[in-house]
Structure 1
Amino acid sequence: MSDIRRHPVESLARFGYGARGVVYGLVGGLALLAAIGSGGQTGGSRSALQTLVSQPFGKVWLFLIALGLFGFCAWRILEALTDADNRGSDMKGWGVRGAHLISGVIYAGLAVSALRLALGRGSGGSGEDQAAQDWTAWLMSQPFGQWLVGLVGLVVAGTGIAFIWKAWRGNVADRLSLPSDKREWIVSLGRMGFAARGVVFLLIGGFLVLAALHSSSSQVRGLGGALEALQQQPYGWVLLALTAIGLFAFGLFGLVQARYRHIDAPDLDDAKAAVARVGR
């Protein structure tokens, strides 16, 4: 408890990485079961959380995951506003910090869904694709909306390519302080996880680009829709199984990040000042 009091932002961040890891582990595990025909599902994050409701202590787990995701949201936003990871103020640095800010908003929405499920106030299971289609339809209704949707799709697809590149040649253990005897298998987990995330982001971005080209928001898919698209391909169960294993690996990698990631978190006063500057 004393460590939490001394480093509240760092504790929030570590709790958040762990919660994100649990969500990815659930998504990957359920998708793997679906691939091998042993039940499971190819739903997204909200569908995965829904499966916890009927499990022993399921609502307690959902409440803890919700708290963790709110912590991850707070860390991502503070990370972007205070440059806690020293990304810098060049174009690349601002790009990464902007992506973290968007990530924080997305995980805030997922945290709200988990909390509603824990309180018995939402089904949370089937709305991920629909939510993506709704915001796409809204964006298309704005001036130059079709171009904006296409641009978002290209950015998402580009992020997927970056994840695949990181899995292949990048330093996935960057910012991790790993014991030497555990480094090899943790790096393997990270590479598998980033590769799977890259495939999913590439598919989601592709669906957005198609939606822009055809001016049809109904073509947009979220995480669950991307996994389902893989399953529908020739030898789809193999593609789905490999991607599911990668997502499960990224879930385990998230637990590693919760333990070993270097987090140079700002203290509460600096964090409050950064938020206040944005609010002015």
Structure 2
Amino acid sequence: MTRKLPGWPAKPDRDAVLGDAADAAEAASNSRVLDVVARWGFAVMALLHIVIGAIAVALVLGAPGQAEPTGAIEQLAANPWGPAVMWSGCIGCAGLALWQLSEATLRARHLPRGERLGKLVSSGFLAVAYGSVGFTFASFAVGVRSDSGDSTAAFSEALMNRPLGAPLLIGLGLTVSGIGVYFVVKGLGKKFKEELRHFEGTHRGHLVSALGVAGHVAKGLALVLTGLLFVMAAATNDPGSSTGLDGSLKALQHHPFGPFLLLAIGAGFIAYGVFALIRAKFGRM
């Protein structure tokens, strides 16, 4: 006969306690405060995409700049309200990362097993991505600045120096490119409409749809190019050539039709930023 340890509930009771704790955490994640902060995070990311797009367009005209999140954050930090903007961006991105984390775990537990895994991967990846951007905002706020391209190249070199480093770097590149393909498919299929409300069938809805298509396709193409740089760096044993989003966009300038493609991608990033601003206000949470 099995004896139950004192103070340790039976398995059904244990499951009930864990379930109640998860329900309480999910209720907290549905709070008005987190909703507002997460929406602010969407607005912050929208602003970053607009600035990145503007930098990409300026590159075509011969102006200097880094067309990636760090470069955009550096531009925002240069204004007189820089520190306040940095901390505000950090809080927004942190809230958005926390909301995505709750999407990946607390709310995903109600989905079927297959959908649950997909949600865990997609929302989990976004939680890490938004958290990373929030960390960059915080770094600029305290005066620690770095070049994203150099950081990416250093990461690639460190990975290449490890056992199976080249296959891992190729896998990373293919993953980034795969995410880019997902954005292109999402844009062309207009699947982003599921994230919005109040616009279906209206004149404004057609404009929002056009912004969503252009923005998702442009962002997807940029990610595909970024992933290909990782793959090429591993294939040529030149980790220094994997310079992230900024390096992939600047590489276009050396091809015959590259400047036109860079201009289109820059305009697309601006379109994505405007779409993301609308998403911040009218998106389903």
Q: Normalising by the residue count of structure 1, what TM-score does the alignment of the two structures yield? A: 0.82
Structure 1 spans left out of the alignment, 5+ residues: 264-280
How far apart, CA to CA, are the structure 2 residues paired with 1:64 and 1:144? Answer: 40
Determine if the alignment matches structure 1 residue 237 to structure 2 residue 262.
no
Q: Is the Cα–Cα contact under 8 Å of residues 108 and 116 in structure 2 kept in the other structure?
A: no
How far apart, CA to CA, are the structure 2 residues paired with 1:75 and 1:226? Answer: 30
Give the Å deviation of 1:200: 0.8
Amino acid corresponding to residue 67 of structure 1 in structure 2: I
> 1:190 aligns to what?
212
How far apart, CA to CA, are the structure 2 residues paired with 1:104 and 1:185? Answer: 29
Counterpart of 2:148 (choices 111, 128, 137) is 128
Counterpart of 1:158 (choices 156, 178, 184) is 178
Determine if the alignment matches structure 1 residue 138 to structure 2 residue 158.
yes
Q: Is the Cα–Cα contact under 8 Å of residues 160 and 202 in structure 1 kept in the other structure?
A: yes
Q: Is the Cα–Cα contact under 8 Å of residues 87 and 97 in structure 1 kept in the other structure?
A: no
Q: Is the Cα–Cα contact under 8 Å of residues 132 and 221 in structure 1 kept in the other structure?
A: yes
Q: Secondary structure at the match of 2:113?
A: coil
Counterpart of 1:69 (choices 75, 90, 93) is 93
> 2:272 aligns to what?
250
How far apart, CA to CA, are the structure 1 residues paired with 2:270 and 2:259? Answer: 16
1:27-78 deviation digits (Å, cap 9, x = unpaired): 11122122234x3524311111111233232332222112111112212222
> 1:272 aligns to what?
none
Aligned residue runs from structure 1 range 27-106, under 5 A: 27-37=52-62, 39=63, 41-83=65-107, 88-90=112-114, 93-106=116-129
> Please, which moves more after superposition, 24-33 or 207-216?
207-216
> How many residues get paired?
255
Give the Å deviation of 1:95: 3.5
Judged with a 3 Å threshold, the aligned counterparts in structure 2 of structure 1 residues 164 and 115 are, in CA distance, closer, same or farther, namely: same
> 2:137 aligns to what?
114
Judged with a 3 Å threshold, the aligned counterparts in structure 2 of structure 1 residues 137 and 188 are, in CA distance, closer, same or farther, namely: same
Q: Is the Cα–Cα contact under 8 Å of residues 36 and 237 in structure 1 kept in the other structure?
A: no
> Which structure would you say has the larger Rg?
2
Q: Secondary structure at the match of 2:191?
A: coil
Q: Secondary structure at the match of 1:178?
A: coil
Give the Å deviation of 1:149: 1.4
Q: Normalising by the residue count of structure 2, what TM-score does the alignment of the two structures yield? A: 0.81
1:137-170 deviation digits (Å, cap 9, x = unpaired): 3333333222121112112111211211222223
How far apart, CA to CA, are the structure 2 residues paired with 1:168 and 1:235? Answer: 23
Q: List structure 1 runs of 4+ shifted beyond 4 angstroms.
A: 84-88
How far apart, CA to CA, are the structure 2 residues paired with 1:155 and 1:19? Answer: 25
Q: Is the Cα–Cα contact under 8 Å of residues 163 and 194 in structure 1 kept in the other structure?
A: yes
Judged with a 3 Å threshold, the aligned counterparts in structure 2 of structure 1 residues 118 and 189 are, in CA distance, closer, same or farther, namely: same
Judged with a 3 Å threshold, the aligned counterparts in structure 2 of structure 1 residues 207 and 30 are, in CA distance, closer, same or farther, namely: same
Give the % identical residues: 24
